[in-house]
Copies of this chain bind each other. A is one copy, B any other.
Amino acid sequence: MENDSRKITIKDVAKLCGLSKGTVDRVLHNRGEVSKESRRRVLEVIQRIGYKPNINASLLASKKHYTLLCLIPQFAPGEYWELIYTGINRAMEKARDYNIGIEVIFYDQFDRESFRQAARRLLDRNPQAVMLAPIFGEDALDLTSTLSARDVPYVYIDSKLEEDGYLAYFGMPMYQSGYLAASLLVDQPDVREVANFRFDRGGDRPQDNPTSCRREGFMAYVAEKFPECRLHEDFLKPYDPEYNVRVLDAFFERHPDVRHIVTFNSRAHLISEYLEKRGISDRVLVGFDKLARNLDGLRKGSVKFLITQRAEAQVYRGITAIIEYMVFHTAPAERDNFMSMDILTKYNVDYYTDNYEF
């Protein structure tokens, strides 16, 4: 049983085939130079006696060393992409055991040209595998088609592009997450008005922005279940607190009856901190992503629900998929992996630890 199966070595296979270890190894790794007949026999025997290669021995003997390059937005401490970076760091330890080195190339998520440059640098490095967050769709497509041509496997995280060359994708179902947010916010009596605060991303085409999928999901839910509910919108700036206070003051003066608020980007804390500052406690705010400042809002009661994804888990699994592809030549069970949307409240936030391994 169990125990025995572990003891079957490549030598056993060779003997049973009447061939040598070398030949068996060749078919194991599709390294060619093997006659059709030998190949058949080897595969048959492997199948029959249930041979499983010893990964430890394989890794030890292998001289191969791979480089995996990750292409993600740069970040300031506490911002969303820091979570992703954390996940990458975690995955490095694992990758090392497989002779895979991981390096990160950053770009400015608000600057398309910086993405292009980063992509060029990436290609110059000639990586054996790539993981990327394709914020600028068109340019990302240029990159990935080159990778495809070079036969370099790549996985998308966070969002993905509509093409067919990627090894896997790990991310949150954006549309559904908006739908979920709506159910949490408006699924109760007396919600006739909802406020949404957004960023104006300037020249961005909206469809390039994953958060607009969220918005669509949200609107769909409202239209479906509470068609009479009105949605108000206003625009904030990510890095201009004083401006935001003015906008919010003006908004709530104009709309004193709006009690329900939603944000689709990761900065719900812009609102929650405003509410705290103004001593407003009768608003219900739903937001996204487990930034420290958002979690704080949860604890203080100024955020009611936070919908989060296990961002570290996403990249960790993304990298795991690549490793398994490179080491075992196996594709992931699912190509598109929509990861769980977790609902955080004041009462479970403190038990929501990062769980890379799960």
Contact = CB atoms under 8 A, between A and B. Distances in A.
Interface of A: 2-3, 6, 54-57, 59-60, 65, 96-97, 99, 101, 173, 176, 179-180, 183-184, 188, 310, 312-313, 316-317, 320, 337-343, 345-348, 351-353, 355-358
B317 A97 contact: no
Contact of A358 (B3, B180, B343, B358): B358
12 contacts: A3-B101, A176-B351, A180-B345, A183-B345, A313-B355, A313-B357, A317-B357, A339-B353, A339-B355, A340-B351, A341-B348, A356-B358
Contacts of A316: 357-358
B352 A340 contact: yes
A188 B189 CA distance: 10
Please name the 9 residue pairs, one residue from A and one from B, whose CB atoms are nearest each other, closest first: A313-B358, A358-B358, A343-B343, A180-B347, A56-B60, A56-B56, A56-B59, A341-B348, A340-B352
Contacts of A347: 176, 179-180, 183
Copies of this chain in the oligomer: 2
Main secondary structure of the interface of A (DSSP, over half): mixed
Contacts of A340: 342, 348, 351-353, 355
B101 A320 contact: no
A358 B311 CA distance: 10
A356 B357 contact: yes
Contacts of A312: 358
Interface centre among A340, A346, A353 (most CB of B within 10 A): A340
A253 B212 CA distance: 48
A320 B94 CA distance: 14
A224 to B, nearest CB: 12
Contact of A60 (B57, B180, B342): B57
Contacts of A57: 56, 60
A39 to B, nearest CB: 27
Contacts of A338: 351
A317 B237 CA distance: 42
Nearest to A99: B6
A57 B2 CA distance: 22
A214 to B, nearest CB: 13
A295 to B, nearest CB: 13
Nearest to A188: B188
